[in-house]
Every structure is written in structure tokens, then in C-alpha cells.
Chain A
Amino acid sequence: MSVLAEKVMTRDWDKPGQNTLAGYQKNGGYQQLKKALTMQPAAITDEVKKSGLRGRGGAGFPTGLKWSFVPSLEKNTKPRYLAVNADESEPGTAKDRFILENDPHLLLEGIGITCFALGAHACYIYARGEFKYPSAVLDKAIAEAYAAGIFGKKLMGTDYELNVYQVRGAGAYICGEETALLESLEGKKGWPRLKPPFPAVVGLFGCPTVVNNVETIAALPRIIEKGSDWFMKLGTGKSGGTRLVTLSGSVNRPGTYEVAMDTSLRELIYDKAYGQGMPAGRSVKAVVPGGSSAPVLTANELDVKLEFDAFKPTNSMAGSGGVMVMDDTTCIVRCAWRVARFYAEESCGQCTPCREGQPWLSRLFRKIEEGRGELADLDTIEQVARGIAPWPPIGLGTTICALGDAGALPAQAFLTKFRKEFEDHIAQKCCPHGAAPWGFFGEFK
């Protein structure tokens, strides 16, 4: 049994007034920024390296290492920027919005610490356009911080200038991808850039830029407060800290939970503190473990821990922590279609395999779900998916950005792991789950 030794991210969420400056300061807020400003910037980056903090946006990339790719001011005299990724649009993921809604100053304090460490004097927080309420809370927090002299010409009264702006997207999943995000911040459509060069060297306005997720940056005040050893020890393996996961779909108690890294999917679904098990009479059929870009797992794979490296043997990923549960009455073909349709809609259209392939996958899944499928379609699905992202190994796509893989690999996993369901649809010339409702699908009370 894993236990959450202590709350880290959600520690103060239920304290009254926590999302106001006064409330935040009452609980010790901005003391860590004050402390960080007395440290050497390089020492902050070192602490972050030692803490084992890994990116919470999806890839789990070591944060301190990413920061160290920013060239020194002697080598590159351009201004440098921090871009905070608050696009939160990976299907299944609902965590960053709660940081913005419940503890916006925690993020802002993390931004102060990070910018000082990087030598950045401006930060843009890119929030998805649909976040009307979370963005309003954040705007208010930013205004409070300026009014209190925390941001502006004199960061916390020092001679360091820092400006923080929120920019809102306008409805495009691809703008969560870091280089598309930068394009969007520059006022353009969200077309990902070829890498290298990486944003740490050539990012926003051609300047060195670090892109980090909201949850990643919001961990900074805690690391400064309690030290890298403490943070590392909270975690598992090479991943420090705790993490926020979103549990959704067919479980008794869906929700956003802070969990220890060594919590398994099974514990998350069944534990009293989290999902509290399956609805009466239902059992787990499949779980998408890390946002819809993470290939699906079967009921036999629930013992995997929610830590980043633990997922390698499953060929899936911990991703953004969006755990979606499908029960034994759910039609997998319909799930595969829902997911494929999303990537088809959201492909930016820049690379041929992705622009043409994702809609093709979506059409094939729909054809099978509607009872018009043929066995040859199953081979076509596999071929099209392979055309976008050849496997193995995972993640070496033929496309500019990882959205290609994000659509292709789940399509392949749905098909290979639940092939019999696809074949049944084809043999019976209809969805074996009957006309609506398809399990939970369509049941709206």
C-alpha cells in the first residue's frame, strides 16, 4: 500500500482565502521567493536538478536539466523568457485548472523563483481560451502581486525586474505542444516548429525560452522551502515529489487527487481515498493511464505505478496523469473512435502522415462501429498508424511534433489489445453492445 506521506501541491487548498494574496501570505506565501532571491541563480537550478522534479506536462522531462540548456548570458546576450503552459487540453486531464483556481499565487511564486534562476525578466502564462473562471482568478492574483510590489520593476523590492502576463488561447489542442505554444504567443496559428533548435536556445521571439507546465512550476516554492532531498525522498525512483492525477470514467468517485508516485492504478481506482471502486456489477475492462495520448492498458496491467519510468515496460506512459476507466459494458471500438476523432480534429495539418492519417483512422473506427467494417480494415488501421509513427520503438514518428504519435500509438493499442471486439463488430455487422446505450455511452440521466 502506498500512502501519501504529506500533501505537497494541495497542502493549503482548503484554507480560507488561499486564492487571494492576503490568504496566501498568511500561510507563509512569498517567503520562498524572498529566500530564492538571496541564492545564486545557478544554485537554484542545482537544487531543482537534485530534487528529481520532472515535467508534469506529459513527457516527464527532468526540469533542472531543461533549465541548464539555456545558454549563459556570455554566450547569448538575448533576453530570455519563461512560458508557463496552462493549456491543459490533453483529454482526461483536469489538474492545472485547480492550481489556478485554488492557489494561483503558488504558481506566481514559482514563476518568480524560476525567472530569477533563468535570468528571465518576462514570463507569459499561456492559458487555454476556455478557462474563463481559472483565468479570471489568475488575472486577479497577478494584479494583486503587482499592486503589492511583488512583480514589476523591483521583484520583491530587489533590483530585479520581472513582468508576468497571462495570454489566453482560443481553442486549439495543438497549442499545448511547446513550440506551437510559442508560435501562438507570437500571434500566429499554432503550427509546431521543427526541433532542433530547442526552445531553450531559440524560443519566443528567437530568444532562449523555457516552457514548463503549471504543476511543474508550482512545485518550486516547496522545493526551496524544504530542500531537494526532502522532495526527492517523497518520490520514487528518479521522480521526485508527489503528483496530481485526474481519475475519470467508470468509477464510483471520479476526481482530481494528489497521490504518491508509487500509487498503482489499481489503488487509484479502488482505494477509499480515491476512486472507491467500480459501480455495482461492473469490472474494469480498460484504462487509459496518462491522457488520451497514452496507449490503453488492459485489466491485467493495473499494478503499474503512477511514476514516470514505471510505464516503460507497458509501452504506455504516465503522461499528464489523466486516468480514464472503461468498464466491462463499454464498447472499445467506440472509445477508439472517440480518441481517433479527437486527433483528426486537432491535427494542425502541417505534416501529411498526420493530416491524412488521423482522419483515416477515425473513419475506419467509425465504419467498424457502425457495422460496415471488413477484416481488411484492421490491417489498414495498423498500416496507417505505422505510417504516422513506426513502431517499435515508441516515439519515433515521421512527423514534426508528437501529436502524430499521440494519435497513432493509442489507435494501435486499442486494436491489438482488444482485437476480438473489433472482429466481433465485423462478424456481426453491428456493435455487439447494441444500439444506444453503448455501456455508459449515451446514458444521460
Chain B
Amino acid sequence: MSEPLFTADEQKKFDAGLAELLSHYPPDRKLAAMLPALRLLQSLKTWLPPEGMQLVAQRLESTVEAAYEVATFYVMFHTKKPGTYVIDVCTNLACALRGAEGMLSYLEQKLATKSGENTPKYFLRETECLASCATAPCLQVNEDHHENLTKAKVDALLEKLS
């Protein structure tokens, strides 16, 4: 038998979370909870495993296809298991004007990985403007935001990850 998707504790969190989410919408609009439900699933499992996608689809009285259509449209959803640390680097114009391209190469070199490559430990990738344009350059590690970055700050940040 394959392993169950959730531990008992996770199952409880998922059920309670989903019930709360569904209460935010008209009763005949369960599908509306798709993004928050996928976010809930991902917060428990770090990604969106196929069994979880099936569960969300079933609970929202939708189809697995509809769930995947959403999951693959939005870059923050992971339908493949990402590395432990997902590092999103903004390389849009305002950040680029403040050295974001250099920061990305610096990270590639320090982490010995390539932008866009998903390794078990790191998933380093370029992302779009993160509303830190005046506090550039910036990046997010597993959705935690860091701005006004310098080499020294990036070094300190990476130290905490390893």
C-alpha cells in the first residue's frame, strides 16, 4: 500500500482549513476556493502531489483537470517537488538597474547551481517584480522577503540555509 497523503494532524488541519475557506463563498461556488485550497495543500506538503490534487478537486466538486489548469498557470504552485529552498530573484527592470543580474550570477556561483534548475536542495529561479523596486535588489527564500541586498547580506542569508 502506498503511504497516505496526510498524517492525522495534517488531515485535521486540511479539513478545518478547507471548511473555513468554503465559508467565505456562496454555497454554490465551491470552485472559488481553488487557489486558497491549493495554497493550503502546498503549505502542508511543500508541493502539490497528485493525490492531493485529486483530493482538492473532489472536495471542491470539480475535476482534477481544472485543478491542474490552475496549479500550472500560477508560478508559485509546485506540481513537481521543489528543492528545500526555493529562491526567487527579481530581475525586472528596477532591480536590474540596481545589480540584480549580478546578484543572480553571484547566487549561481555560491550555490553551484544554475538559474531555473531544480536541485534537491535549491530551486533558484528568476521572478518578476516583487514590489521592492525602491529597495532593490531583492529576493524571496520560501516566500520570505529580503530587500536592499548586498553581497554581505546574501552571504549571511545563505549561511542560515546550509
Contacts and interface: CB of A to CB of B under 8 A. Distances in A.
Bound pair: A and B?
A: yes
Interface of A: 88-94, 96-97, 128-133, 163, 165, 167-173, 184-190, 205, 246-250, 254-256, 288, 292, 322, 324-326, 330, 334-335, 338-339, 342, 345-346, 436-437, 440-445
Contacts of B76: 129-130, 170-171
B70 A187 contact: yes
Given A186-B29, A345-B128, A441 B93 contact: no
Contact of B101 (A185, A326, A436): A436
Interface of B: 24, 26, 29, 31-36, 38-39, 60, 62, 66, 69-70, 73-77, 88, 91-94, 96-103, 105-106, 127-137, 140, 143-145, 150-151
Contact of A91 (B35, B88, B94): B94
Most A Cβ at <10 Å: residue of B88, B99, B151: B99
25 contacts: A91-B93, A129-B76, A170-B76, A186-B29, A187-B34, A188-B70, A189-B73, A205-B26, A248-B98, A248-B134, A249-B93, A249-B98, A255-B134, A256-B134, A292-B129, A322-B133, A324-B93, A324-B94, A334-B96, A335-B93, A338-B92, A338-B93, A342-B93, A436-B101, A444-B100
B128 A91 contact: yes
Nearest to B91: A338
Contact of A190 (B31, B73, B99): B73
B101 A94 contact: no
Given A185-B32, A338-B93, A345-B128, A247 B134 contact: yes
B129 A91 contact: yes
A171 B125 CA distance: 13
A165 B75 CA distance: 23
Give 8 nearest A-B pairs by CB, closest first. A444-B102, A187-B34, A170-B74, A189-B73, A444-B99, A171-B76, A171-B75, A248-B94
B35 A292 contact: no
Contact of A444 (B26, B62, B106, B145): B106
A246 B136 CA distance: 12
B97 A187 contact: no
Given A89-B129, A132-B145, A172-B75, 8 more contacts: A91-B94, A130-B127, A172-B73, A185-B32, A188-B66, A342-B129, A440-B96, A442-B101
